[in-house]
Amino acid sequence: MGAGVSVSSRSPHAASEIPRVEVTHERQTAEGLDGERKTVTALFADIKGSMELMEDLDPEEARAIIDPAIKLMIDAVHRYDGYVVQSTGDGIFALFGAPVAHEDHPRRALYAALRMQEEIKRFAERLRADKGLNLQVRVGANSGEVVVRSIETGQHAEYTPIGHSTSLASRLQTLASPGSIAISEGLRKLVEGYFTLKGLGPARIKGTSEPVNVYEVTGIGPLRTRLQRAVGRGLTKFVGREREMESLRHVAEQTKSGRGQIVAAIAEPGVGKSRLFFEFKTTSQSGWMVLETFSVSHGKASAYLPVIDLLRNYFDISAGDDERKRREKVTGRVVALERSLEDTLPYLFSLLGIVEGDDPLAQMDGQIRKRRTLEAIKRIILRESLNQPLMVVFEDLHWIDEQTQGFLNLLAESIGTAKILLLVNYRPEYSHQWNSKTYYTQLRLDPLGKESTDEMLSALLGASPAPATQSPGASQERSAADPQVAGWVRALNGIEDLKRLIIERTEGNPFFMEEIVQAQFDEGVLVRNGTVHLTKPLAELKIPPTVQAILASRIDRLRAVADARRDRPGVRVVAGQARVQRKEE
Ligand SMILES: Nc1ncnc2c1ncn2[C@@H]1O[C@H](COP(=O)(O)OP(=O)(O)O)[C@@H](O)[C@H]1O
Ligand SMILES: [Mg+2]
């Protein structure tokens, strides 16, 4: 560790998207103790009643049960890039979002928790059959701020967090019924929709004055992306982006006339890549077939995930369809498309995990099989584009896996003369090989400009007030000395001050604006009755954890870049928006 975030002041809008990075020496303190504030998700998992479980067992026998269970827990944590802080005799304590920040640490933690329970259940079934033992695990998780630091113990460095939020996670674990996952109200807010949850009601927890609402995580929910979640909440009025929409309309026309196009929208998180595509898609959908897919942040390790998703979408496969139903859907559609495409079926079945009986491709060389699989999907997509123009949307390529990249490269080569519009988006750290293509267009999205920012804030908080003297209700007889009028003017000024503060802090990032405004409503700082009011004098802005997580992961990314460049023991990142975070401390 040893890296610190320092404060820089920059004027709003002058900012380029990418924060400045400065690299400085920053030595570890002599004792090797160094604190860093982070928002993390803590996860505790513990084997239920391990004492009774092992009562009649020889220590070696007990070990043969406990160790594999602990290993399954640790593997699940690592799969989602979590960090195991501690492995006690019969459980683990893990962190997501530290030492390395991940903007989606709450989701990663719960994916890990679900996977852990699934794997443990499978293991427990064997134990029950073989030894008649009943092994169950409780999991608890919570998100919140901690200070993390590494302590040199002499032999090695221990990296541990301090904070109430981890204790709460630990208590939640003890509250979870065996085989289940319990989370806090705070974590629920961050993951609702991405997971299915069951309210367990309020519980008294030692160390907290108020009872806390506890929820059980029961499975994966219907939402996949942040924008889908925003759609659920109600989208803010779409502002700006006229130039980009115009470019998109233009390439769509070219595509329709048989000159396929690739468009890449590039921007930092939250600037509006997904929203731009969403708006374009919904306003120009008629006559098109739209196929959408996206990479997920922990997706690099899973081959073909976005491609599989795209195919499920195309073949209209739903979660409830069993294997036979899936095979029917795929076969039916392929044959209807063109009978000669039947030879693609074994590849599709294999990729979708719906092979019946022995896999006819099992003996095939891996490379050949991969090439033919990609070729098969490409043929289907190209053939489909003869029926009507096709819009293929691939989001968040910065998280793409190698196989999916292979597919995109193949597709990109062959769409120049097809009615296919390939829309991709990604963050600036990603790159590809399509820049030199004549049918490639790049759209670099800047944060929203002054006008669009004002418009968006008006949509979120109400329009700017007219000057006080012309305000409705400020009649001739009433002067600003009238306490009622004075109060009204002050309240309006409050909202205007708030807008200014938000603009300054978010630098035109629409996601940050929405989240900060929403947080003020959640906190009761803002209320809406007809118009929006401030309920208390404006002091500091509370930065919601969703925004903090994005900032923190960006800082860590920059830090890694700086580290690689200078190879120094410590770095300091000066990020325009990092100061948002520091002010909070
Ligand atoms: N031009 C815009 N006008 C209004 N809201 C926007 C605009 N661009 C983005 N947003 C909102 O900001 C949030 C983040 O946008 P999103 O497209 O998800 O960002 P990205 O894909 O770049 O991470 C979304 O809730 C979205 O609706
Ligand atoms: Mg997006």
Q: Are residues 287 and 339 in the same domain?
A: yes
CB of 320 within 8 A of CB of 423?
no
Instruction: Tell me the whole-structure pTM to 2 decimals.
Output: 0.81
Tokens of 45: 């998992």
Other Cβ atoms closer than 10 A to 179: 15
Tokens of 487: 């109060």
Distance CA 90, CA 73 (A): 10
Q: Are residues 158 and 194 in the same domain?
A: yes
Q: Are residues 412 and 538 in the same domain?
A: no
Q: Are residues 65 and 146 in the same domain?
A: yes
Q: Are residues 134 and 200 in the same domain?
A: yes
Q: Are strands 572-573 and 289-294 parallel, antiparallel or unpaired?
A: unpaired
Which ligand is in closest contact with the Cα of 457?
Answer: 1
CB of 270 within 8 A of CB of 261?
no
Whether the ω angle into residue 99 lies within 30 degrees of 0, i.e. cis, is yes
Kindly state whether residue 473 falls inside one of the protein's structural domains. no
Which ligand is in closest contact with the Cα of 427?
Answer: 1
Kindly state whether residue 475 falls inside one of the protein's structural domains. no
Kindly state whether residue 167 falls inside one of the protein's structural domains. yes
Measured from the CA of 241, which atom of ligand 1 is nearest?
A: 1
Kindly state whether residue 44 falls inside one of the protein's structural domains. yes
Task: Using the 3D structure, point to which of 223, 257, 291 is the last residue of a domain.
Answer: 223
Kindly state whether residue 364 falls inside one of the protein's structural domains. yes
Distance CA 553, CA 430 (A): 16
- In the reported structure, the alpha carbon of residue 299 is separated from the centroid of ligand 1 by a whole-number distance in angstroms of 22
Distance CA 187, CA 216 (A): 11
83: phi > 0 → left, psi -120 to 50 → alpha, else beta; which?
beta
Distance CA 392, CA 510 (A): 25
Q: Are residues 460 and 437 in the same domain?
A: no
- In the reported structure, the alpha carbon of residue 425 is separated from the centroid of ligand 2 by a whole-number distance in angstroms of 8
Which of 443, 427, 454 lies closest to 246 in space, CA to CA?
Answer: 443
Which ligand is in closest contact with the Cα of 295?
Answer: 2
Which of 454, 470, 450 lies closest to 462 in space, CA to CA?
Answer: 454
- In the reported structure, the alpha carbon of residue 45 is separated from the centroid of ligand 1 by a whole-number distance in angstroms of 36
Ordered alpha helix ranges (H), 388-482: 402-414, 450-461
The CATH number of the domain holding residue 303 is 3.40.50.300
Q: Are strands 212-220 and 181-184 parallel, antiparallel or unpaired?
A: antiparallel
Other Cβ atoms closer than 10 A to 29: 11
SS3 195: strand
The CATH number of the domain holding residue 194 is 3.30.70.1230
Kindly state whether residue 471 falls inside one of the protein's structural domains. no
Phi, psi angle pair for 290, to nearest 5°: -110, 125
Please choose from 236, 282, 429 the residue to mutate so as to test ligand 1's pocket, defined by most ligand atoms within 8 A of CB.
Answer: 236
Q: Are residues 551 and 526 in the same domain?
A: no
Distance CA 454, CA 446 (A): 16
Gyration radius from the chain CA atoms: 27
Which ligand is in closest contact with the Cα of 269?
Answer: 1
CB of 186 within 8 A of CB of 142?
yes
What is the DSSP annotation of 150-208? EEE-SSSEEEEEESHHHHHHHHHHHHSPTT-EEEEHHHHHHHBTTEEEEEEEEE--TT-
Q: Are residues 354 and 503 in the same domain?
A: no
Atom 8, ligand 1: residue with shortest CA distance: 272
Specify burial of residue 157 (Cβ count, 10 A radius: 0-12, 13-18, 19+).
Answer: middle
Measured from the CA of 226, which atom of ligand 1 is nearest?
A: 18
Q: Are residues 137 and 35 in the same domain?
A: yes
Distance CA 37, CA 163 (A): 10
Q: Are residues 373 and 456 in the same domain?
A: no
Q: Are residues 294 and 432 in the same domain?
A: yes
- In the reported structure, the alpha carbon of residue 70 is separated from the centroid of ligand 1 by a whole-number distance in angstroms of 41
- In the reported structure, the alpha carbon of residue 223 is separated from the centroid of ligand 2 by a whole-number distance in angstroms of 13
Atom 25, ligand 1: residue with shortest CA distance: 230
CB of 258 within 8 A of CB of 385?
no
Kindly state whether residue 248 falls inside one of the protein's structural domains. yes
- In the reported structure, the alpha carbon of residue 508 is separated from the centroid of ligand 2 by a whole-number distance in angstroms of 16
Task: Using the 3D structure, point to which of 162, 194, 223 is the last residue of a domain.
Answer: 223
Exposure on the CB side of residue 188, measured as CA atoms within 13 A:
18
- In the reported structure, the alpha carbon of residue 266 is separated from the centroid of ligand 1 by a whole-number distance in angstroms of 13
The whole domain housing 266 covers 242-444
Task: Using the 3D structure, point to which of 223, 253, 283 is the last residue of a domain.
Answer: 223
Q: Which residues line ligand 1 (CB under 6 A)?
A: 226-227, 230, 235-236, 238-241, 267, 269-275, 456, 510-511, 514
Domain count, the chain: 4
Distance CA 32, CA 276 (A): 47
Beta-carbon contacts of residue 89 (< 8 Å; ≥ 6 apart)? 50, 66
Atom 26, ligand 1: residue with shortest CA distance: 275
The pLDDT tens digits along the chain (585 residues) read 333 333 233 333 333 333 333 333 333 333 334 678 888 999 999 998 766 777 777 888 888 889 999 999 999 999 999 999 988 878 999 999 988 889 899 999 999 999 999 999 999 999 999 888 889 999 999 999 898 888 777 777 778 888 888 999 999 999 999 999 999 999 999 999 999 999 999 998 877 788 889 999 999 998 888 899 888 888 999 999 999 999 999 999 999 999 999 999 999 999 999 999 999 999 887 899 999 999 988 877 678 999 999 999 999 999 889 999 999 999 999 999 999 999 999 999 999 999 998 888 888 898 999 999 999 999 999 999 999 999 999 999 999 999 999 999 999 999 999 999 999 999 999 999 999 999 999 999 999 999 999 999 999 988 755 444 444 443 444 444 555 544 444 444 578 888 888 888 888 999 999 999 988 888 888 888 888 888 877 667 778 888 888 888 887 777 776 766 654 433 333 333 333 333 333
pLDDT at 519: 86
Kindly state whether residue 3 falls inside one of the protein's structural domains. no
Q: Are residues 368 and 513 in the same domain?
A: no
Phi, psi angle pair for 536, to nearest 5°: -145, 160
Which of 265, 241, 263 lies closest to 252 in space, CA to CA?
Answer: 263
